[in-house]
Structures are given as structure tokens and as C-alpha cells.
């Protein structure tokens, strides 16, 4: 593509010159993809631009994610394909171009954004690529997010090539299995792979029986086998035969089947420090939304799955899951001030809360702290929480899952110390949400502290044994947009450091494992047998009558369909944005009422500045556009059963759900609405782009084009008025889509499979990446720790 550009500049010198002149006239230091595409398309429509119309110029612009304008130079970041970047500098007077290195490109950006003079000053460049030399990487972008398949194929081939060493390591691996003092799989009787093979053959013959009785157990033990191979003789035999096959000729499929049967995971620690982590009265509070819902559903699904697999392995061991979060003494009306809380719907899982303390004095922090300000407390939290966790479990966990930037950092610290497999879940990486927030990090120091967050992210991404994401685009974006993880491949925090190779989306550590929506709460509106009349009336009363919670607006024409939006009340969720589109579109106001659910109604009740701003803006819009009779605004709803019924009541009235976020990492409300049979319009920036097939199982809207989005919703409502089947078709397709793709039992079995496979490879090979960890420890000590301290200083 760069070569094409060079040729074009030469052959179409005049129109190319005029195109760059037009772009320069925008008078901006940084042009984004949308500016470049829009301007070039417009330019090609003009007479002077026409010669470029049939050339590759438009294609090149569509692949250019960003331009740094440094007159007379235009520096372009061209994303040839997903995850593949090149950088080029165009001299817009001489019309020549040359390729530049990523370091040069970032250097130019730093100079432009932060006024750093060029020269030979020393800049810390973070480059993780040298550690990955020789490490297998995916090649085809279509396979991104299917890391485990690739890794298995690649490593199982290599494992048995090195003169039998792989077999020896597999043998060792089977011998180290112990749980709570009980030896599993193999005992010390067997001393070599040959002896193992021989013993397996003898055992298989013994297993031609129906029950595992004491006699059989004694015989198996004498041959060297401990419990863990299976509950029934048939299953034990199958497991042994698979192992014999592997020892004979390993295949990725057999290895995967075998690992799926090995008892490895009995206890899991799930780390999620920020927000209010509880089971009631918390949803919709600041920093408290989908992540909490996700983890609680995840725990229930994992416990079920662990119990089933432990049973099949023939063991009587109670699985343990502990969610480690922050204890908040001033817990508002929640249980976040309690140290331990059993998780409903599980037998043994619990929430363990540990307070944030001042590092040196140990003084407990009493109040809620924004997720952007937790950094100074995390190191101590990791130490304290580790002690409490070990005491709680009586041993180290077998597997640690981190959540969001803060939880992933704590997971990094703990997993490293305990030598345990680490999995990261981002939920939302903030970098894509705030434009150029890396370059302008200093402007965010008073509120967001992105320098800490991005540094922690880079560390945790690189220490994790594997990362799971809810969608493909979370890793690698789309043809047009950069993935959330991809955005960490190269970036700059001027005056701190620049990352030239941070994370590679072709790394096989990435796996897509999508969450679901709790089917007990989010089910189709037509399942009337599961919908108590009383609950339905309660919700109708909240929408149309005088609810027992804070509200504004009283709908005057109650038989119109409802448009429903529900989220935390923060700027990125853009609920006020939707209110404004609605307010300005008279036809839409005539066609439907609007139901907003989220946040509080009184700014003084909120301790979150972002939420306060949104509350004020929402009230202002109500006043300015006289929305009282058309809109009902209810404060956040913390009762999950009621929340489920909201979607269905809106569906009863053949309305629609709208998710207008400026960016949504995944969007649980989207799958909740779709599972309820409620047609859904959701942002095209982020997860919903992948969840919904536009026009089939819902619709995409562009939050940067409010009027257009409002018209799209209006057009649908009008069509449904004329052709009610149109509503039914979208409703049905939404249910089908979520049933097939987003469900918790599939999630749990996949996640546990991954934990075993990555745990195995971590043991067998040097996947542990000792060198990377050592490098990152230094980065932590020299960069993140001082940055975290600065968060506190900024407050005082």
C-alpha cells in the first residue's frame, strides 16, 4: 500500500497535492480515520479531485487510522490489515513519501502533542518483542482469538520431537497432581515413561468391569494409578487409552481431550477490586455495572461445571471459588462492608472483601474510590488479599482470574508470587474510549490517571498466561476500527515512555469466550408462565404511575410504544445524548415515549463527578425541551428480577431497547434486551457491532450521528406500525442470536478447558516467560509505583 501511495504521488501529483492541502486546511495536528475518509471522499467528488476517484488513493485513506500533521509533512499510520501497521511520511510540497519506523512516528506525535523538541534526548522505549523471538504466533487474522487451538497444534507437534523429553515432562506433570494432601493420577511407583506405558496396558485390561470397587482401586494403585482418571471403569479406560495414544503419536485433538479430563482446577480466585461488589443494591452505582453481573453469573456457571467435571473424574472434592474485592466501610446501603458473603445460587462460592489501606500507615480507607483513583492502594491490597485468600482456601488457588485493569494488576502480582496460572479479562480497556488519551495523558492527571492505568494494562497483558475477550473486535477491531487490545501495540505517554511493541493481537494467548445473560432473569416476553402478574404490574406502575423510587416525567399518552435505555449514568454511555436526539426529533416524540433508567436524580446524592455532570445535563434537557409528558426517567434499578421484567414490559408494548454509548466494550444490556425478545438498537462502536447483525437481529446506530440514529429508530417504528411482522422478525432473530452465541454453560466449559490447557503448557514449556516477567517487574518498580504515588499527591 505504501508503494502504491508513492506511485500515486508521482503520477497524480496535482490532485494529490490538492487533497493534502484540503486536509491541511482542517487545521488540526491529528486527523482521525473518519476525517481522512470523509474529506478524501468529498474531495474525489469535486472536479479537481475526480482523477483520484478511480485510483487506490481512497483505499489508502480508508486504511489510514491517523495522520500527524507536521507541515509540510503528513505522517500516516496505515493499518494494512488487522494488526499490521506501517508508517509513512509524505512531503506534501515535494509530493514524495518514505516509510518511517514506529519510533519515528511516535517521536513526531510526542513533539506535536507535548511540544517535546526533537533531538537526541533519551526516551524510554518499551519493546516486548525481543522476548517473543521464537515464540509461536498466529499468521492469519481470521484465527485471532482462537489461540488455544493454534497453541495446541503447534506445541503438541514440538513436544514429542525433542528426543522423548516431551513424554518425560508429561509423565512428570501427571505425577505432581495433588489436591488438599491427596495424591492424584500417578503415585511414585512408576519411574519412567516405559513403565507408565506398561502399567497403562495392564490397567486397561483390568477395567473390563462395571464398577470401581475397593479391589479394583487397590489393583490400580498397585500398578501406580491414583484417583482422578474417571468415575466409572469405562471412563478410566477411555482416559488411559487416550494417554496411550498420546504416548504413541500425539495429536492436538487427543491432547485436548486428555487435558479436559485431568483434575487440575479445584479452586479459583477471581479478583475485582473497584466499585461496589455485592449482590444487591449495587447495580447502577458508579463503576458498578456489567462487570459485577458478569462475575456473579460466571461464578455460578463455573461452580456447576467444576462440580460436574470433578464428579466425572471420580473425586469427592468440593470446588471453591472466591471473589476477592474491596471492603468499603462506608458501604452506603450495600453489604460491601462485610468481609465474607456467600454467593447466591452456589453451594460454596463466596465474596471475600479486603479493605484498601494507606501503604505505610495501614489506615483503612473508609469511602468509595473511583476506579481511576485506586492505583496507590493496589500493591498493599494484593499483599493483604493474598494472605486472606490463602487463609480462606487453606492453600493456594489453582487458577487466578483478574478483571479490569486494577484486578488484572493484582492478579499479576498474586499469580507471580504463588506460581499460579493467570487469566485476564479486561471488560473494558479505557484507551479506545478517550481519543488521544495516551498522548494527552497529562491533561487527564487530575481525573482519570490514564498513565497508571495504561502502564498496569501493559504489564498485566504481558504476564497473563491467557486472556479471554467477549468479542473478536475487542482484540483486533474491524477493518475500519482498531481493536481495544490492538491499541496497546504502540502508543506514547510523552515525557514518560513510549511503547513500540506492547502487545500483539496475533499472540496465541487471546481467546474469545463470550458471556451470556442469566436465563432465569432474562427470558422472552412471551413466556408468560414465568412472569408473575404482580411483578409485571409493579413495573408498569414504575413506568406509568408513581413509583417508590426517585423519578421524573409522567407519560401522557401511555399507549404509545416505549423506547427503553438503561445504563450507568456516565458520559460514555451517552444516555443524555439519546435524550437529546429524541427531544429534537418531533416525529419520534410523537411515535414513542422514552424510558430512561439509570443513575440518581439528585446530583448531591452522587459522589462521582462524571455522574453528577450527567444528572445535571439530563435535567437541563428535560427543562429545555419540555420533556415531562414524553419521557420517564427512573433512578438506577438494583433489583435484578425487576430489571428483567422492564425489558419484557417494553416488549409487551412492542417497543425497542436503545444502547447509544459512544463506545461499549461489550454491552450486557444488549444481550439482555435481545434475550427478552426486545428489538435492540445499539452503538456501532464496540461489542454490539459484533453481537447484532444489522437489520437482522437488531440494528446498529452511530452515536456520533444523533439525528440519523433517531431517524433509523423512527423508520423502524413506522414500519412496525404498518407491518407488525417486522417487529416479530427482529425480536425472534435477537432471541436466536443470543441463544446460540451467548450462553454461560458454554462459557464455563470453555474457560475451564483453557485453564487446564494453558496450565499444562505453562508447566511443560517455558510459557511462563520468566524474562518478560523480570523486565516487567523492573517496569513496575521504576514506573508504575511512582506513578501510583502521584495519584495521591494530585489529590492533596
The least distance separating ligand LCN from the CB of residue 738, rounded to whole angstroms, comes to 13
Q: Mention every residue, 6+ apart, whose C-beta is less than 8 A from residue 177.
A: 183, 184, 185, 186, 226, 228, 262, 263, 264
Q: Mention every residue, 6+ apart, whose C-beta is less than 8 A from residue 546.
A: none
Indicate which single residue of 326, 448, 568, 684 sits in contact with ligand UDP (rule: CB under 6 A): 568
CA of residue 603 relative to chain centroid, distance: 30
Indicate which single residue of 566, 595, 748, 788 sits in contact with ligand UDP (rule: CB under 6 A): 566
Q: Mention every residue, 6+ apart, whose C-beta is less than 8 A from residue 183.
A: 177, 226
Q: Please, where are the H alpha helices in 12-55?
A: 13-25, 33-45, 50-53
- For β-strands 350-355 and 340-342, DSSP reports them as antiparallel
Indicate which single residue of 40, 585, 669, 743 sits in contact with ligand UDP (rule: CB under 6 A): 669
Cα–Cα distance for residue pair 277/289, rounded to 1 Å:
9
HSE-CB for 246 with a 13 A CA cutoff: 26
Residue 636 binds which one of ligand LCN, ligand UDP, none, with CB within 5 to 8 A depending on kind? ligand UDP
The least distance separating ligand UDP from the CB of residue 598, rounded to whole angstroms, comes to 5
Q: Which is nearer to ligand UDP, 152 or 574 (CB)?
A: 574
Task: Describe the chain by its helix, strand, coil percentages, rounded to 5.
Answer: 50, 15, 35
Indicate which single residue of 89, 334, 422, 637 sits in contact with ligand UDP (rule: CB under 6 A): 637
Cα–Cα distance for residue pair 665/572, rounded to 1 Å:
11
Cα–Cα distance for residue pair 396/412, rounded to 1 Å:
15
Indicate which single residue of 97, 410, 631, 636 sits in contact with ligand UDP (rule: CB under 6 A): 636
Cβ pair 611, 286 in contact under 8 A? yes
Cβ pair 657, 461 in contact under 8 A? no
Residue 283 binds which one of ligand LCN, ligand UDP, none, with CB within 5 to 8 A depending on kind? ligand UDP
Q: Which is nearer to ligand LCN, 310 or 643 (CB)?
A: 643
Q: Mention every residue, 6+ apart, whose C-beta is less than 8 A from residue 194.
A: none
- Among positions 121-150, residues that touch ligand UDP (CB under 6 A) are none
Q: Which is nearer to ligand LCN, 15 or 483 (CB)?
A: 483
Q: Which is nearer to ligand LCN, 393 or 671 (CB)?
A: 671
> Should residue 539 be labelled a site residue for ligand UDP when binding is judged by CB under 6 A?
no
Q: Which is nearer to ligand LCN, 228 or 688 (CB)?
A: 688
Residue 561 binds which one of ligand LCN, ligand UDP, none, with CB within 5 to 8 A depending on kind? none
Give how far Cα 150 sits from Cα of 160, 166, 341, 755, 757, Å. 17, 18, 40, 15, 12
The least distance separating ligand UDP from the CB of residue 642, rounded to whole angstroms, comes to 9
> Should residue 238 be labelled a site residue for ligand UDP when binding is judged by CB under 6 A?
no
Cβ pair 563, 649 in contact under 8 A? no
Cα–Cα distance for residue pair 481/432, rounded to 1 Å:
10
Cβ pair 29, 113 in contact under 8 A? yes
Indicate which single residue of 643, 673, 752, 788 sits in contact with ligand UDP (rule: CB under 6 A): 643
Cα–Cα distance for residue pair 592/558, rounded to 1 Å:
9
Cα–Cα distance for residue pair 131/454, rounded to 1 Å:
20
Q: Which is nearer to ligand LCN, 300 or 531 (CB)?
A: 300
SS3 at position 632: strand
Which DSSP state fits 232? S
Helix axes 640-652, 533-544, angle to 10 degrees: 80
The least distance separating ligand UDP from the CB of residue 539, rounded to whole angstroms, comes to 13
Cα–Cα distance for residue pair 131/125, rounded to 1 Å:
14
Listed ranges 51-59, 64-72, 398-406, 661-669: which one lies at the site for ligand UDP (CB under 6 A): 661-669
Indicate which single residue of 65, 75, 453, 567 sits in contact with ligand UDP (rule: CB under 6 A): 567
> Should residue 672 be labelled a site residue for ligand UDP when binding is judged by CB under 6 A?
yes
Draw the binding track, 160-199, toward ligand UDP (x: CB under 6 A; -: no contact).
----------------------------------------
Q: Which is nearer to ligand LCN, 294 or 510 (CB)?
A: 294
Draw the binding track, 271-310, toward ligand UDP (x: CB under 6 A; -: no contact).
------------xx----xxx-x-----------------
Listed ranges 111-119, 303-311, 528-536, 635-643: which one lies at the site for ligand UDP (CB under 6 A): 635-643
Residue 568 binds which one of ligand LCN, ligand UDP, none, with CB within 5 to 8 A depending on kind? ligand UDP
Binding positions for ligand LCN, rule: CB under 6 A:
290-291, 294, 427-428, 470, 664-668, 687
Cβ pair 302, 268 in contact under 8 A? yes
- Among positions 581-600, residues that touch ligand UDP (CB under 6 A) are 597-598
Q: Which is nearer to ligand UDP, 175 or 683 (CB)?
A: 683
Q: Which is nearer to ligand LCN, 456 or 665 (CB)?
A: 665
Listed ranges 100-108, 335-343, 566-574, 612-620: which one lies at the site for ligand UDP (CB under 6 A): 566-574
Q: Which is nearer to ligand LCN, 335 or 470 (CB)?
A: 470
Q: Which is nearer to ligand LCN, 388 or 570 (CB)?
A: 570
> Should residue 734 be labelled a site residue for ligand UDP when binding is judged by CB under 6 A?
no
The least distance separating ligand UDP from the CB of residue 644, rounded to whole angstroms, comes to 8
Q: Which is nearer to ligand LCN, 207 or 671 (CB)?
A: 671
Cα of first residue to Cα of last residue in the chain, in angstroms, is 51
Cα–Cα distance for residue pair 530/614, rounded to 1 Å:
36
Q: Which is nearer to ligand UDP, 20 or 450 (CB)?
A: 450
Q: Please, where are the H alpha helices in 602-639?
A: 609-624
Q: Which is nearer to ligand LCN, 107 or 297 (CB)?
A: 297
* Bridge partners, 594 (sequence order): 563, 631
> Should residue 256 be labelled a site residue for ligand UDP when binding is judged by CB under 6 A?
no
SS3 at position 125: strand
Q: Which is nearer to ligand UDP, 63 or 648 (CB)?
A: 648
Residue nearest to ligand UDP (CB): 289
The least distance separating ligand UDP from the CB of residue 674, rounded to whole angstroms, comes to 12
Give how far Cα 708 sits from Cα of 512, 581, 693, 716, Å. 32, 9, 19, 13
Q: Which is nearer to ligand LCN, 228 or 687 (CB)?
A: 687
* Bridge partners, 425 (sequence order): 403, 468
Residue 566 binds which one of ligand LCN, ligand UDP, none, with CB within 5 to 8 A depending on kind? ligand UDP
> Should residue 334 be labelled a site residue for ligand UDP when binding is judged by CB under 6 A?
no
Listed ranges 56-64, 224-232, 665-673, 678-686: which one lies at the site for ligand UDP (CB under 6 A): 665-673
Cα–Cα distance for residue pair 595/599, rounded to 1 Å:
13
Q: Which is nearer to ligand LCN, 16 or 697 (CB)?
A: 697
Listed ranges 297-305, 397-405, 539-547, 660-668: which one lies at the site for ligand UDP (CB under 6 A): 660-668
Where b means 16+ CB within 10 Å and e means fewer, 346-380 reads beebbbbbbbbbebeeeeebeebbbbbbbbbbbbb
The least distance separating ligand LCN from the CB of residue 462, rounded to whole angstroms, comes to 21
Which among 236, 222, 256 is positioned nearest to 313, based on CA atoms?
236
By rule CB under 6 A, what count of residues binds ligand UDP?
19
The least distance separating ligand LCN from the CB of residue 203, rounded to whole angstroms, comes to 45
What is 755-776 written as a DSSP string? HHHHHHHHHHSSTT-HHHHHHH
- Which residue ranges make up the site for ligand UDP (CB under 6 A)? 283-284, 289-291, 293, 566-568, 597-598, 636-637, 643, 666-669, 672
Amino acid at each position: 500500500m505504501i508503494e502504491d501511495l508513492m506511485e500515486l504521488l508521482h503520477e497524480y501529483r496535482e490532485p494529490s497535492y490538492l487533497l493534502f492541502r484540503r486536509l491541511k486546511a482542517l487545521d488540526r495536528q491529528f486527523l482521525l480515520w473518519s476525517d481522512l475518509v470523509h474529506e478524501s471522499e468529498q474531495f474525489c467528488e469535486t472536479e479537481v479531485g475526480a482523477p483520484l476517484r478511480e485510483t487506490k488513493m481512497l483505499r489508502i485513506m480508508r486504511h489510514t487510522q491517523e495522520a500527524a500533521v507536521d507541515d509540510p509533512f503528513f505522517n500516516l499510520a496505515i493499518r494494512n490489515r488487522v494488526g499490521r501497521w506501517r508508517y509513512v511520511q509524505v512531503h506534501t510540497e515535494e509530493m514524495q513519501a518514505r516509510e518511517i519506523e514506529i519510533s519515528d512516528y511516535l517521536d513526531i506525535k510526542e513533539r506535536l502533542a507535548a511540544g517535546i523538541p526533537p533531538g537526541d534526548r533519551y526516551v524510554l522505549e518499551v519493546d516486548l518483542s525481543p522476548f517473543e523471538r521464537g515464540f509461536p504466533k498466529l499468521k492469519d487474522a481470521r484465527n485471532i482469538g482462537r489461540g488455544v487451538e493454534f497453541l495446541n497444534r503447534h506445541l503438541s507437534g514440538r513436544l514429542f520431537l525433542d528426543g522423548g523429553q516431551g513424554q518425560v515432562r508429561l509423565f512428570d506433570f501427571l505425577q505432581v497432581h495433588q489436591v488438599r494432601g491427596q495424591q492424584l493420577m500417578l503415585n511414585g511407583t512408576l519411574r519412567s515413561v516405559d513403565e507408565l506405558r506398561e502399567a497403562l496396558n495392564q490397567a486397561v485390561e483390568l477395567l473390563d468391569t462395571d464398577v470401581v470397587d475397593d479391589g479394583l482401586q487397590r489393583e490400580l494403585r498397585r500398578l501406580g494409578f491414583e484417583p482422578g482418571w474417571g468415575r466409572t471403569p469405562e471412563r478410566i479406560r477411555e482416559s488411559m487409552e487416550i494417554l496411550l495414544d498420546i504416548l504413541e503419536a500425539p495429536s492436538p485433538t487427543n491432547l485436548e481431550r486428555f487435558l479436559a479430563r485431568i483434575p487440575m482446577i479445584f479452586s479459583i480466585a477471581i479478583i475485582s477490586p473497584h466499585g461496589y461488589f455485592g449482590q444487591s443494591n449495587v447495580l447502577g452505582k458508579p463503576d458498578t455495572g456489567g462487570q459485577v453481573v458478569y462475575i456473579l453469573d460466571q461464578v455460578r456457571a463455573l461452580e456447576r461445571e467444576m462440580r460436574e467435571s470433578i464428579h466425572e473424574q471420580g473425586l469427592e472434592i468440593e470446588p471453591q471459588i472466591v471473589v476477592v474485592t474491596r471492603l468499603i466501610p462506608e458501604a452506603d446501603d450495600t453489604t460491601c462492608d462485610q468481609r465474607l458473603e456467600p454467593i447466591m445460587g452456589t453451594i460454596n462460592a463466596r465474596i471475600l472483601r479486603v479493605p484498601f489501606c494507606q501503604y505505610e500507615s495501614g489506615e483503612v480507607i473508609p469511602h468509595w474510590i473511583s476506579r481511576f483513583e485506586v492505583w496507590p492502594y493496589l500493591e498493599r491490597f494484593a499483599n493483604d488479599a493474598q494472605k486472606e485468600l490463602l487463609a480462606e482456601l487453606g492453600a493456594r488457588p489453582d487458577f487466578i482470574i483478574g478483571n479490569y485493569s486494577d484486578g488484572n494488576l493484582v492478579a499479576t502480582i498474586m499469580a507471580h508470587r504463588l506460581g499460579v496460572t493467570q487469566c485476564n479479562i479486561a471488560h473494558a480497556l479505557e484507551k479506545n474510549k478517550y481519543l488521544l488519551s495516551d498522548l494527552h495523558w497529562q491533561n487527564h492527571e487530575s481525573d482519570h490517571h490514564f498513565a497508571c492505568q495504561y502502564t498496569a494494562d501493559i504489564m498485566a497483558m504481558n504476564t497473563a498466561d491467557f486472556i479471554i475477550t467477549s468479542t473478536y473486535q475487542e482484540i483486533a477491531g474491524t477493518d475500519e476500527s482498531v481493536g481495544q487490545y490492538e491499541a496497546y501495540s504502540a502508543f506514547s505517554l510523552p515525557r514518560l515512555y513510549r511503547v513500540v511493541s506492547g502487545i500483539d493481537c496475533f499472540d496465541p494467548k487471546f481467546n474469545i469466550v463470550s458471556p451470556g445473560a442469566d436465563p432465569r432473569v432474562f427470558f422472552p416476553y412471551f413466556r408468560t408462565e414465568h412472569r408473575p402478574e404482580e411483578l409485571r404490574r409493579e413495573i408498569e406502575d414504575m413506568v406509568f404511575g408513581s413509583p417508590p423510587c426517585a423519578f421524573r416525567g409522567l407519560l401522557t399518552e401511555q399507549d404509545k410504544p416505549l423506547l427503553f435505555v438503561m445504563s450507568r449514568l456516565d458520559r460514555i454511555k451517552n444516555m443524555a445524548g439519546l435524550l437529546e436526539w429524541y427531544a429534537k426529533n418531533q416525529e419520534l416524540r410523537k411515535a414513542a415515549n422514552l424510558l430512561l433508567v439509570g443513575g440518581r436524580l439528585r446530583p448531591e446524592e452522587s459522589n462521582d463527578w462524571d455522574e453528577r455532570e450527567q444528572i445535571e445535563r439530563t435535567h437541563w434537557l428535560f427543562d429545555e425541551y419540555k420533556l415531562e409528558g414524553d419521557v420517564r426517567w427512573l433512578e438506577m434499578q438494583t433489583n435484578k428480577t425487576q430489571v428483567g421484567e422492564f425489558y419484557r414490559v417494553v416488549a409487551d408494548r412492542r417497543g425497542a431497547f436503545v444502547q447509544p454509548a459512544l463506545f461499549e466494550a461489550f454491552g450486557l444490556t444488549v444481550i439482555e434486551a435481545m434475550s427478552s425478545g426486545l428489538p435492540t438498537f445499539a452503538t456501532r462502536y464496540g461489542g454490539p457491532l459484533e453481537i447484532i447483525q444489522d437489520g437482522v437481529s437488531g440494528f446498529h446506530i452511530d452515536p456520533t450521528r444523533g439525528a440519523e440514529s433517531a431517524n433509523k429508530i423512527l423508520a423502524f417504528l413506522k414500519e412496525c406500525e404498518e407491518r407488525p411482522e417486522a417487529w416479530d422478525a427482529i425480536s425472534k432473530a435477537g432471541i436466536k442470536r443470543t441463544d446460540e452465541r451467548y450462553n454461560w454453560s458454554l462459557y464455563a466449559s470453555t474457560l475451564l478447558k483453557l485453564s487446564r490447557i494453558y496450565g499444562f503448557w505453562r508447566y511443560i514449556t517455558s510459557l511462563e516467560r520468566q524474562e518478560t516477567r523480570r523486565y516487567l517487574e523492573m517496569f513496575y518498580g521504576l514506573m508504575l509505583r511512582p506513578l501510583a504515588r502521584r495519584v495521591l499527591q494530585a489529590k492533596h
